[in-house]
């Protein structure tokens, strides 16, 4: 066996991902050493509870509750604890003690990314986070390295498996949101408290990470527009299907070009995606990231966006990279945020919309609605009307497809429609992406 230099690896956390990382590191140590050019010694695993059950069997003597001592003697720190503290302090301690850091912590990077990257820059170390945006799917390295010579125009990502699972089952079974969510919780696809997933918080963190990389601009989490999927109904899914669309929760990161300036938009919302688009065929809890770049054209990255062992694959890839860098020496490559593009609010974003209204089936109603939209700068592309006879009289159901319009104009026009006296109910307003 080659006599490699030994690197000490500190693992923080042995939960769903950490336990798998430890197991694979121990099992494939020799192979990883050949790839890394260094022998990777798992020096210890910091946890909260030494007696907690683990997903895989691991040597008990590796476990410790003294994370700090473990970190200060390490060449590579793998942070898989999650949350902000003490993960943040531990990462800063690791960088300060000369270690390279591998983390899958999207919550931390989306909120404290600049602080962590600055700390790495100060000491010439590197932070690797392939698993933080889409689990096992390689997307960080493609954006940071493979596409470094190109200009990314747009990213559309299905980056949350729980919401994709829910929307996909609603689409294939005609089921209601609440029923599928309850089932997803029973099957372990959704947490007991599903807020982070169904309200789009998890996807927003990933969008901030992807946009920062793609546009060389630090994107704070509060600059990401966020809407969840709790208001999506079986009827909306059925209507979307009839019009040739599927509803997906998308993280959209977009470069907007003005006459002589550029800006970016970063947003998460449920959108209508044409059934012919590659993202429409992402089923179940899978994730996919669709990248459009000026020279490369369209690229699609697809696979498991979560799962302990799947995510461990991305983490170990980072560990090998960190080991290679450590052995090669020199200064780590920092984050590129030099473009520093302005981030626009959702009001400036231009898309097509589908507006569904319930209106009284009376003469003049259509003309009033078309007038309100047109006065508000929103032009109608398609209109489908169906009439339902109820005990109170006839109610018309209108599905209006618009041409592209700024979000601010559209929402002001929809407010005016709601107050117009001719609209009984604004059933839904959905944006169209991926045409
Ligand atoms: P997890 O199952 O909750 O495990 C967390 C681990 O960290 C546990 O072993 C826990 O110790 C330890 N820990 C937590 N707080 C600690 C503290 N204060 N001191 C010492 N140890 C502490 O988490 P996970 O699902 O593996 O996720 C880890 C990270 O990967 C998170 O940032 C997550 O966002 C990210 N990630 C996860 C997935 C996934 O599929 N799970 C996918 C992509 C990214 P005890 O076991 O003793 O309680």
Name the residue of 49, 55, 80 to mutate for ligand 1: max ligand atoms within 8 A of Cβ: 80
* Res 266: pLDDT: 98
Residue 333 has a pLDDT of 79
18 lines ligand 1 (CB under 6 A): yes
- Ligand 1 pocket check for 405: Cβ under 6 Å: no
Mutation choice for ligand 1 from 10, 45, 48, 310, CB with most ligand atoms inside 8 A: 48
Q: What's the gap in Å between 153 CA and the centre of ligand 1?
A: 34
Domains of the chain as residue ranges with CATH: 6-136+309-328 (3.40.50.720), 140-302 (3.30.360.10), 349-432 (3.30.70.260)
Q: Is 236 in the pocket of ligand 1 (CB under 6 A)?
A: no
Residue 405 exposure: Cα atoms within 13 Å on the Cβ side: 25
- Distance (angstroms) between ligand 1 centre and the Cα of 19 equals 9
DSSP reduced 3-state for 241: helix
Q: Give the closest residue (by CA) to ligand 1 atom 28.
A: 80
Strand partners, 303: 287
How remote is the CA of residue 82 from the centroid of ligand 1, in Å? 5
What distance in angstroms lies between residue 220's CA and the mean position of ligand 1's atoms?
23
Write out pLDDT tens, residues 279-315.
999 999 999 999 999 999 999 999 999 999 999 999 9
Instruction: Please tell me if the CB atom of residue 10 comes closer than 6 angstroms to any atom of ligand 1.
Output: no
- Do you find a cis peptide bond into 86, omega within 30 degrees of 0? yes
C-beta 82 within 6 A of ligand 1: yes
Relative to the CA of 105, which ligand 1 atom is closest?
32
Q: By alpha-carbon position, which residue is closest to atom 48 of ligand 1?
A: 48
Residue 105 CA to ligand 1 center (angstroms) comes to 9
Q: What angle do CA 353, 357, 358 make, to 5 degrees?
A: 170
Given a contact cutoff of 8 angstroms between Cβ atoms, the answer to whether 261 and 423 are in contact is no
Nearest-atom number in ligand 1 for the CA of 135 is 43
CA distance 320 to 33: 8
Instruction: Label residue 284 left, alpha or beta by phi (over 0 means left) and psi (-120 to 50 means alpha).
Output: left
Q: Which residues does the annotation mark as catalytic?
A: 206
| Rg, Å, the chain Cα set | 25
- The list of the chain residues with pLDDT below 50 reads none
User: Partners of 293 in the beta sheet?
Assistant: 152, 297
Q: Is 67 in the pocket of ligand 1 (CB under 6 A)?
A: yes
Q: Is the CB of 50 under 6 A from ligand 1?
A: no
Digit-coded pLDDT (tens) for 360-405: 888 899 999 999 999 999 999 999 998 878 777 788 999 999 999 9
Rounded distance from Cα 99 to ligand 1 centre (Å): 20
The answer to whether the CB of 133 is under 6 A from ligand 1 is: no
């Amino acid at each position: 066996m080659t006599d490699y230099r030994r690197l000490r690896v500190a693992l923080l956390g042995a939960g769903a991902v950490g336990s798998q990382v430890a197991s694979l590191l121990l099992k494939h140590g020799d192979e990883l050493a050949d790839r890394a050019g260094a022998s990777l010694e798992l020096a210890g695993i910091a946890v909260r509870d030494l007696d907690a059950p683990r997903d895989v069997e691991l040597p008990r003597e590796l476990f410790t509750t003294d994370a700090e001592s473990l970190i200060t003697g390490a060449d590579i720190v793998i942070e898989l604890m999650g949350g902000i503290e003490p993960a943040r302090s531990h990462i800063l301690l690791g960088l300060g003690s000369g270690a390279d850091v591998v983390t899958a912590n999207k919550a931390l990077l989306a909120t404290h990314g600049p602080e962590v990257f600055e700390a790495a820059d100060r000491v010439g170390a590197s932070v690797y986070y392939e698993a933080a945006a889409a689990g096992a799917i390689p997307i960080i390295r493609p954006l940071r390295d493979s596409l470094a010579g190109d200009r990314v125009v747009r990213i559309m990502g299905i980056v949350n498996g729980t919401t994709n699972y829910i929307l996909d089952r609603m689409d294939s079974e005609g089921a209601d949101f609440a029923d599928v969510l309850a089932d997803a919780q029973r099957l372990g696809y959704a947490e007991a408290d599903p807020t982070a997933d169904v309200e789009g918080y998890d996807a927003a963190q990933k969008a901030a990470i992807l946009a920062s990389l793609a546009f060389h601009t630090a994107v704070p989490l509060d600059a990401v527009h966020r809407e969840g999927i709790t208001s999506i109904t079986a009827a909306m899914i059925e209507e979307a299907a009839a019009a040739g669309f599927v509803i997906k929760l998308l993280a959209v990161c977009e470069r907007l070009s003005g006459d002589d300036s550029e800006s970016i938009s970063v947003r998460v919302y449920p959108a209508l995606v044409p059934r012919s688009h590659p993202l429409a065929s992402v089923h179940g809890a899978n994730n996919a990231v669709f990248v459009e770049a000026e020279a490369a054209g369209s690229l699609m990255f697809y696979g498991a966006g979560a799962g302990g062992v799947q995510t461990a694959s991305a983490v170990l890839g980072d560990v090998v990279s960190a080991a290679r860098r450590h052995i090669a020496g020199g200064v780590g490559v920092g984050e590129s945020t030099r473009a520093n593009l302005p981030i626009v609010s959702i009001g400036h974003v231009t898309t097509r919309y589908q507006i569904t209204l319930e209106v009284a089936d009376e003469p003049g109603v259509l003309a009033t609605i078309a007038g309100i939209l047109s006065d508000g700068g929103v032009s109608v592309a398609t209109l489908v009307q169906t009439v339902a006879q109820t005990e109170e009289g006839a109610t018309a159901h209108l599905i209006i497809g618009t041409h592209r319009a700024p979000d601010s104009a559209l929402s002001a026009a929809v407010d005016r429609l709601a107050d117009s006296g001719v609209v009984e109910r604004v059933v839904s307003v959905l944006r169209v992406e991926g045409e």
